[in-house]
Amino acid sequence: MRKFAVVAAVLAAVSISACKKTAPGEYEVQTPVIGTQTDTIHTPTVQVGTDTAKVTVPKVEVKKDTASVKVPTVKVNPPKK
């Protein structure tokens, strides 16, 4: 298990050190073939902005109103003596 961790750490270090940034949006990558081969990779650019969109929202009106509600009533008559 330790040997695997050491090999993984070495491969990570080599892969990180094999890249270098040359210009905005460009990286030079060295690939391990017989010897080394250097390729230039062009990364895409992203433009971020804002735009206005119209959306339809429902119109909700809140009105205060009173209503008559019939409620049950209970009358308790005490027993007669």
Q: What is the pTM of this model?
A: 0.27
What CA–CA distances, in Å, run from 74 to 30, 33, 68, 71, 77?
Answer: 92, 96, 19, 10, 10
What pLDDT, on a 0 to 100 scale, did the predictor assign at position 56? 92
How do residues 21-54 score in pLDDT, each as one tens digit?
Answer: 666 777 777 777 777 777 777 777 878 888 898 9
How do residues 51-75 score in pLDDT, each as one tens digit?
Answer: 898 989 899 888 888 889 998 898 8
Backbone angles phi, psi at 3, to 5 degrees: -65, -40
Confidence band for 18, pLDDT divided at 50, 70 and 90: low
